[in-house]
A and B are shown apart, each in its own frame.
Chain A
Amino acid sequence: MGCGAAEMAALLRAGAATIERHRVELIDLDRPIGDADHGENMNRGFAAVVSTLDTAVPETPGGVLKIAATTLISKVGGAAGPLYGTAFLRAATTLGDAAELDPPAVLAALRAARDGVVARGKAEVGDATMIDALSPAVDAAEMAEANGIAAMLAAAADAADKGAESTTPLVARKGRASYLGERSVGHLDPGARSTALLLRAFAEAVG
C-alpha cells in the first residue's frame, strides 16, 4: 500500500484518537513527577491538529506533518509542544514534497524526528524521557526496513513500548521530573508513554 497525504492524515487522526482515549492515564502519570498537564496538553494539541486537517489536507505527507508540527507547537505548550513540534517539523522537512512515501523515506523521517528531539531536549537514552521510547523505535524500524512500512511501524511501536517501560526504574535527568532526583524512580515517564501510544496508533492505522 502507498503512503500519501491522505494516509498521513489518517495516521495523525488515529494518533489524536489514542491520545484522547489515554488523556487521563497521561495526566495520572504526570501528576507525581510533573505538573499533571501532559494528557491535557497533548489532547488539546492533537484535537487542534484534527480540526486543522478537517479544514484542508495538504497535498503531500510532508505538508501534513508540517501542519501538525506548527499546530502542536502553538497548542501543546510545556516541553511537549516544542519537542513533538520539532519531531514532526524535522520529519516534514526530510520528506520534502514527495507525494508517496517508501520505506527509506519513512526511516529517514523517523531518524530526523529522533535527532530533532535529541537536539532540542539535549537528552539521551537513559534520562527517562520520550527519547527512551523514540530512539529504540527508530532502531527497530531500521531493522525492519526491508519488510515494508507497516512492518517498520509495528516494530517501532513494539520497541517504543519496551523503551517506555524501561523508564520506570530510572532517575529522571531532564525536564520537570529531574528536580525530584531519586524520587522520580518508580514512575513511567509520561512523554515516553505518549510517544509509544502514538507509534502504536500509527502502526495500527497503517497495518
Chain B
Amino acid sequence: MRVGLVVVSHSAKLAEGVAELAAQMAPDVGVHAAGGLPDGGIGTDFDAVLAATQAADTGAGVVLLYDLGSAQMTAELAVESLTDPGSAVVVDAPLVEGAVAAAVAAQGGSDRAAVAQAAASAGAGDGARQEEPAAEQRQADRIELTLANEVGLHARPAALLVRSIAGLDADVRIRRGDDEADAHSVLALMSLSARKGDRLEITATGSQAGEALRRIEDLAERNFDE
C-alpha cells in the first residue's frame, strides 16, 4: 500500500507527461493525471481532479501536485470535498521535480507527510551539496566504487539507488570530485552528472549505514540492472 499521486495541470498533455515521467521512476505507485477540460481545452476540471484523487487513494492517502494558480484552488477544493479530507494533501512544489521526488518517496514506502515533504523540498537549491559536511566526518562508513553501467547516475539508476536505501536508518551521501549529493534525493544524485567510469565516494552514518552501503555496492555491481 503506497501513497498515490495526482498531477493537476491546465493541460491534459502536460499532466500525462509528468505522470508518465514520475511513474517510470516508481513502478508500483499510482500516478494519476488530471489535466485539461473535458472537451480537451486548457483548464482544470474539478470533477476530473476529484475522481483522480479518489482513484489514487489505495489506503495510504494521496499527494496532489499542480501547475498554475487556479489548478491549486481546484485541487484544494477537491481535497475538501473528499469524504475524508485528511486523506489527501495539496503540495506546493515544482511540478516536474516535485512529482519525480514524490513518486520515488512513495515507491520507497514513505508515508503521506514524507511524500509531500519530498515534493516540497525538490528543487530547493540545486540539490547537490546542501548542508553540514563537517558533522558527518566523525564516524562515517565509507566505500568507493566506479560506475560501470552505460548511462551512469541517470534518472532510472538514481531512482533505483534512492529506492534501495529508502527506509534504512542511514544518512547517505555520494561524492564525485568536489560535488556532494544527498543519496536520498533522485534529483540531487542526477545533478552530480556522474557518468560511466566515474569514481564515486559514498559515505553513510546511522545504525544501518553498513547495510545501506552494501545495497548500493550490490546495485552498482549489477550495473543497476541495465
Which residues of chain A are within 8 angstroms of B77 by Cβ–Cβ distance? 73, 82, 85-86, 120
Closest to A85 in B: B77
Q: Does B57 contact A (CB under 8 A)?
A: no
Q: Does A50 contact B (CB under 8 A)?
A: no
Cα distance, A86 to B46, chains bound together (Å):
12
1/0 per residue, CB under 8 A from B, across A72-98: the answer is: 011001110111011000000000000
1/0 per residue, CB under 8 A from A, across B29-65: the answer is: 0000000010000011111000000000000000000
Which residues of chain B are within 8 angstroms of A83 by Cβ–Cβ distance? 73
Which residues of chain B are within 8 angstroms of A58 by Cβ–Cβ distance? none
Q: Does B76 contact A (CB under 8 A)?
A: yes
Cα distance, A120 to B77, chains bound together (Å):
8
Q: Does B70 contact A (CB under 8 A)?
A: yes
Q: Does A121 contact B (CB under 8 A)?
A: yes
8 A Cβ contacts from B153-178 to A: none
Q: Which of B37, B69, B76 contacts A77 (CB 8 A)?
A: B37
Query: Chain A's interface: helix, strand, loop or mixed, by majority?
Result: helix
- Least CB distance from B91 to A in Å reads 15
Q: Are B45 and A79 in contact (CB under 8 A)?
A: no
Cα distance, A83 to B77, chains bound together (Å):
9
Closest to A176 in B: B69
Known: A73-B77, A77-B37. A82 touches B70 (CB 8 A): yes
Q: Does A175 contact B (CB under 8 A)?
A: yes
Cα distance, A79 to B72, chains bound together (Å):
9
Cα distance, A176 to B70, chains bound together (Å):
9
Q: Are A77 and B45 in contact (CB under 8 A)?
A: yes
Query: Which of B37, B47, B74 lies at the interface centre, i.e. has the most chain A CB atoms within 10 A of its CB?
Result: B74
Cα distance, A78 to B37, chains bound together (Å):
10
Closest to A73 in B: B46
- Least CB distance from B199 to A in Å reads 46
Count residues of chain A with CB under 8 A from any CB of chain B.
15
Which residues of chain A are within 8 angstroms of B74 by Cβ–Cβ distance? 81-82
Known: A85-B77, A86-B77, A120-B76. A79 touches B46 (CB 8 A): no
Which residues of chain B are within 8 angstroms of A176 by Cβ–Cβ distance? 69
Which residues of chain B are within 8 angstroms of A121 by Cβ–Cβ distance? 73
Which residues of chain A are within 8 angstroms of B46 by Cβ–Cβ distance? 73-74, 77, 81-82, 85
Known: A73-B46, A120-B76. A79 touches B37 (CB 8 A): no
Which residues of chain B are within 8 angstroms of A79 by Cβ–Cβ distance? 69-70, 73
- Least CB distance from B151 to A in Å reads 38
Q: Are B43 and A77 in contact (CB under 8 A)?
A: yes
Known: A74-B46, A77-B44. A120 touches B69 (CB 8 A): no
- Least CB distance from A83 to B in Å reads 7
Cα distance, A174 to B70, chains bound together (Å):
10
8 A Cβ contacts from B66-81 to A: 69-70, 73-74, 76-77
8 A Cβ contacts from A34-82 to B: 73-74, 77-79, 81-82
Cα distance, A61 to B51, chains bound together (Å):
28
1/0 per residue, CB under 8 A from B, across A168-201: the answer is: 0000001110000000000000000000000000
Closest to B73 in A: A82
- Least CB distance from B67 to A in Å reads 13
Additional pairs, 9, CB under 8 Å, beyond known A74-B46, A85-B46: A77-B45, A78-B43, A78-B70, A82-B73, A82-B74, A86-B73, A86-B77, A120-B77, A175-B70
Q: Residues of A at under 8 Å CB distance from B?
A: 73-74, 77-79, 81-83, 85-86, 120-121, 174-176
Q: Residues of B at under 8 Å CB distance from A?
A: 37, 43-47, 69-70, 73-74, 76-77
13 A-B pairs within 8 Å (CB atoms) are namely A74-B46, A74-B47, A77-B45, A78-B70, A79-B70, A82-B77, A83-B73, A86-B73, A86-B77, A120-B77, A121-B73, A175-B69, A176-B69
Q: Which A-B residue pairs are the 5 nearest by beta carbons?
A: A82-B73, A79-B70, A82-B77, A77-B43, A73-B46
